[in-house]
Chain A
Amino acid sequence: MPELLRPASVDEAAGLFASHGAAAAILAGGTGLLRETHPSDDGVLIALDRLGLDRVESRDGGWSVGAAVSLSGLRAAVPIPALQAATREIGGPAVQNMATVGGNLFARAPFGDLAPALLALGARLVFASADGEEEQPIEAFYAGWSEDGAPRAGLLTRIEIDEPAGAVSYLKCARRRYASPSVVSVAASVEKDGSGAVSDARIALSGASAHPFRCAAAEQAVIGAGLDDAAMAAAGAAAEAAVTPATDPVASDWYRRRMAGVFVRRALAALA
């Protein structure tokens, strides 16, 4: 019987997470975990509902988003259109009321649609462990993923999001408009210099590889260029070459690869 543990402080939760090791699973919104968990299973579930992690705090230049903030809560509190668009395209309203920002970052394809937006925004993740807090860029977190999923770095407690310096776009390729699993989802942000050339770019994809990632090859294709058709097409082609998608009932690897290219191009076009 898995034990449901409902710690009352982050320290306690981080301690439980460390001491139970692989037997522990984090219960946030439950929309993913409870599908897979049976009352007869072994292990412990560590619930986040008493930790005060369900709040968004506005700070200078950005927001501190608790890991247990719901997707609809994020949409209400953080007025970044690309991020709001991402939350609207995950499940229906009930799922959005239940599923959490933190939980979605651990979701496996075809369900982790928030990550590209946060990658494009340069968000930072804060983990609590027995040794204290550790903050890391979200791309570093995903770089640590293996075939088995996320590294056990500690307990994700909040997500730091800064106000975007430039424009950010988010597009999801889905077979259905609402409540649809992803074919791929893509977010892009660019900063331009005085001449209109792209000085910095962040292009991120989900559903296109084993985990969400920033596509350096696509970014390089636009940095230094204007956002013209040739540069956007080059970025799309670079993304198509870089992804390693899977086949599932929603789409084949062949189709996902194609859409990675198309949607990187379209996400950039939305910024041009």
Chain B
Amino acid sequence: MQMNPVLTIALPLILAFTKIMYRRIANLFLVLGSLLNVLVVFFIKEGQYLMGGYAPPFGIVLQVDAYALYSLLVLNVLFAALTILVTKKAENLTSSSLIALAALNGLILTGDLFNLFVFLEIAAIAAIIIASSSKRYHHAFHYMVASIIGSTFYLLGLILLYKQYGTLNMAKMHELMLASPGGSSVAVILIFVGLAVEVKLMPFSGWVKGVLKNADEWIGPMIGAIYGGAMMIVMGRLFTDVFVVSPKVTLLLSILALVTLVGGEAAAYDSEKMREILLYSGVAQSGLEILLILNGYAALSFILILSNMMAKYVMFLLSGYIVNAAGTDVLGDLKGLFRSNPFLGFAFTAAGLSLAGLPLFVGFFIKLNILYNLMMSHSYWLPAIILITSLVEGIYMLRMILGLWQTGLEVQETGIQIISPSNIKTKYAVHAITLILSLAMVVFGLMPDYALDLAQKARGNAVADKPAMMIGMKGGPGQ
């Protein structure tokens, strides 16, 4: 059996449209829709899918390659898991969430630049509505202003590209740009800036703090993990498969990404609150991802995006529950929290250690390969900077995790817990899903070859002159 990928967009949409007629069973719609989507994703085959029967450069196409397919799978599974876990929060947001899902799928699938813009807008508005559920309206408004500026810039750049190349189709645009790349830099920069707002690249990410520092278990994983990941995948698509970026622009944008990496890690190091640490570290990670994308390490950036997405998902989800239970996310007040919740603690720890790139977890091999490949192009500075930022990240990550495991001085001396969020009230599903995700990180950490091979296959041919050399457990080059 084979399914048309457009169903991953159409199904949630149709459910969202019909849902407003059936308010009572809204949740069912959401869960059903997202699960159906996961099911559909399994039956999608790679290929090009036309819309309305019009041939590619003129009509809109959905471009399903391994890259899109794997991203789609991860995204839909994570989304479905979230809808199962957090039904209560999502009650008023069923339609918005379904539309968000449709838009994110569309973003990943579409092969048309303007279509991408449309989905970008839908996704952004859906995200803003989801973000406003935390009742911090001025923060959501901030997000809105930022994303409108972003999409304006994107469209401006897009129309300049259209003026130069006369097409909106990604594949054709790529060919034309390859033939004559001159003069397109401004447009590419504008598009980059437009998307950078969404992927939380640093000078453009002012909105992130307001939105995510108050995130609950619904907003956090949604905006912090799923959205960030999907947008980054779009970024990866555009800047490896479509645009031909001049070395100078690459350099400029890489500097920006590097600033983000360093600044984000520093800001996270400075924070004392769990969610702030997570959001700043997310900003920093996006800097690293963009750095890889811009410099042509497509496969590496891809697997980094996916693993970060999973890790951030777990951490944001759990931080939401922790805040629910404890009423605060100041790390000093949460000492010893995981003592009474070892399984959640394990999941959080595994995600954190994976994010920091420690062995036994998948993050390590990804980081190793990043460094190895960067070094293979005979640059020692970039790996050094990445290692230093990893050091900072490792320290604050472990500070956070250890703080959550370790009981405070008062507790040790008196034996009485000052705050007693002893049992974070969660469903067993939360335990199950976070544990599965964290175990996946361990399994892929022990056997990274499979994941690395998939990434290689998905993106290995994206950049001709920089085929990634992957070191897995099986060994790597020079073995």
**Do A and B form a real pair?**
no
